[in-house]
Structure formats: C-alpha cells, structure tokens
Structure 1
C-alpha cells in the first residue's frame, strides 16, 4: 500500500523505481520506541505522520516511498552489517535504502523532547549542503506557520543519516512531546494531518524553486 521497500524486494530497482523518489523515513520502530510521554510513543507518531505525508505526496503525483509501514525496527532487515549495535544497524539500513531506491530527497521524521516543558515547536536539521539547507528552510517556515513559532533550521552535524546520505536530506523534529501544546497536536489525528500538510507545503516550495 505504501510503496514500501519490502514490496520491491523481488524486482530490479532499476525497473521498480526508474526515476528518483521521495523517501519518507519514519524514525524508530519495533523495540526502539524513541522518546515518550506516558504511553505516547514517538515511533507511533512518526509512523502516523509518515503515512499521511505519503498519501498527500502520492495524491499530488510525487513518486514516494515510506520505509516503514508498521511497528517494526529496520535493524531487523539489516543482515549485511556485522555490528552488535542494533542502533547502528538500524541507521545503516535507512541510509542503504536511500541509495538503493534511489532517492531525490530524504525526509526523516522524529519527535523532540526537552527537560524544560515550556520548550516547543518544530526544528528541522539539515546537511552542510545548499539543497538540504533550502529544503530544511522551506519545511521549517511551513511548520512555523502551523505552530506560530519562529524557529530556524539547524545543521545536524552529529546525526548519522545526514552525514551518510548523499542526496539532500533533512531530519524533521515535528514538535516536543514534553510540551503539552505540542503533544496535543502530535498525538491527535487532526494534528498529525496538519503537520503532514505543512511538511508537504515545504517540500512543494523546495521543488518549485529547484
């Protein structure tokens, strides 16, 4: 249904995806729940927003792949990297998918957490590269309009995905689960739809300008 990687395993990538795609990376999954608040888990929020973003992009004619369509860890699919670190296998698998599909841009969805529960709003992290920075700025502006914030995108230097993916990639921290206002938006179907629409608006601005 979601054009997942698994659905294409039996075909040549050159036949299944002859043109670049937008890869939506739904962060965490399976044993890795990500950050949380009570029984609200980041992995579930990432997946729900990812599903909605996928539907929007496909409905607008964009070739799109959602790399996780259920509650499972991508590290389970990685049997080629000899590492005892499940976290590293997970990250490496996400990076590998961006190369095999192949990807025009990568949108990695995550949720933030802070000790100060008054801290709120989206933050978009990008590579030290012009197209990635512009993609981040476009998505950040669109999400700022939704959240009524004025945050600026940031360079995500320590993040594996941004350092190892060759195409323009961004990590979208869609809000703070530790903040009551953000959490309400992140955990509701209506809020998840609005966030997905805002991210789409930024992607649309990027492709219109590029």
Structure 2
C-alpha cells in the first residue's frame, strides 16, 4: 500500500496567506510530514512529492508529469491544500476529485466522512492537472479554511495537525477496506504487502512489517540467509 502526498505550492508560489501571516505552503508542508508519520504507523508507505520553485504553471506541469510516470504500485494520490472563502467565519474540510473518476469520488467521500460536516464542507469535482494525470484514485483535500482567523490559529498547533492527519488515515483505511485477515497492533490496524495468509491453521505475515510495527529492527542478511530482529534486549550475533 503506497500513497503519494503532494503538499501544494512551493517557496516561490506559497499560495494564500492567512489573516495573521501563515502561508498555505507552511500549513500543507507540516501536514504532509504528520500524515507521512501517521501512515507509517499503519504500515502504509508514502512518498512526499512537491512541485519545484519557479514559474507556477511550469512547476504544475512538472508535478503532473511526475505523478503520471509513477509506477502502478501507487494506490492513492493526495494533494494537500487549504480552503479559502470571502466569509471569514467559513470553516470545514473540502475534498475535490477529477470529474468522471468514480473511484476518486469514492475516496473523497471516504475522507470527508472522517471530518466534521459544516455548511462549507463539501465533496466536489474540479479540473486540476495533478488529479487528471494520476494513475490511481486522487483527491485534493482542502484541510480547512485558512481565511478564518480562528482556524488559522489552530493550523499552527501540532496537536491539531496530528488529529487531522489521523482523520485522513482513517479515511484512507475506510476507502481501501480491511484486509481479509486483519492485524491490530495496540488497537490500530496495520497493512501488509503481501497480505496475511492462512496456512495449515496458522497465519503467515511478512516479518519486517510485523517486527517494525512492534518497534523492533528487522534486517535481512542474504549472504548468510539470516533474518536479524533487534528488540532492544539481549543480542546474539551468531
């Protein structure tokens, strides 16, 4: 399971600026880091892919081409942005998808279900080069309204960022659905590739995935055909 994370905007095209000076780029870059961490805790691989500085249109074309060239093992593409409204009281999350992409619409619906519904939250279609070129379900998620001074203040708070990241991960999991055999580590579901398999009344699970989820270091020594698992306790070098 792999997700492409695109924090919208760049140093030369920072997007909107909130009432007290925080830029859209600052918000979405911080969110991309928190989201990558939250996905990693569920064994969902991520790659952060951001457009380069320079001419905004050229940068978008470059990003769209990169996403279009991604291999087919990418399952989801998320482009992170902030919403904006003339009404400074507006708040809520918006999820946008490419018109005609039913899978992307279903992903947008799954994501929005994990956020509070407001008069300004919505799922809608749009024309966007990043979404149009994605080879998988792709959504722009506008985290909340940067135009709202109270929301802008929350966007600076790490606990808010972590909570939003968790909501997005829950939406991803709701979209892809549980594996046939579910693995819960301290109550949180993790994903493995390949999926767990039942064999002779037991279950086969990738060692690295399970070891990492339990906080162990797993290393494969192909020359000696040995898997080494370090848990922080006693170590044997044989």
TM-score class normalised by the smaller sequence: 0.7 to 0.9
TM-score normalised by structure 2 residue count: 0.67
TM-score normalised by structure 1 residue count: 0.76
CA distance, structure 2, for counterparts of residue 34 and residue 138 of structure 1: 26
CA contact (8 A) 1:34 1:42 kept: yes
Specify which of 139, 145, 154 is matched with residue 124 of structure 2.
154
Specify which of 173, 189, 210 is matched with residue 204 of structure 1.
173
Relative contact order, higher structure (CA 8 A, sep 6+) = 1
Specify which of 82, 97, 107 is matched with residue 135 of structure 1.
107
Q: Show structure 1 runs of 5+ residues with no match.
A: 1-19, 77-85
Instruction: Name segments (4+ residues, structure 1) moved above 4 Å.
Output: none
Greater helix proportion = 1
CA distance, structure 2, for counterparts of residue 23 and residue 174 of structure 1: 16
- What is the aligned residue count? 174
Larger of the two Rg values belongs to structure: 2
Residue by residue over 1:65-117, the C-alpha shift from the partner in whole angstroms, topping out at 9 and shown as x without a partner, is: 0114xxxx5255xxxxxxxxx11221122222223332321100001121111
- The alignment status of 1:44 with 2:26, answered yes or no, reads yes
Aligned-pair Cα RMSD in Å: 2.0
Give the superposition deviation at 1:185: 2.3
Q: Show structure 2 runs of 5+ residues with no match.
A: 180-238
Give the superposition deviation at 1:59: 1.9
2:6 aligned residue = 25
Greater strand proportion = 2
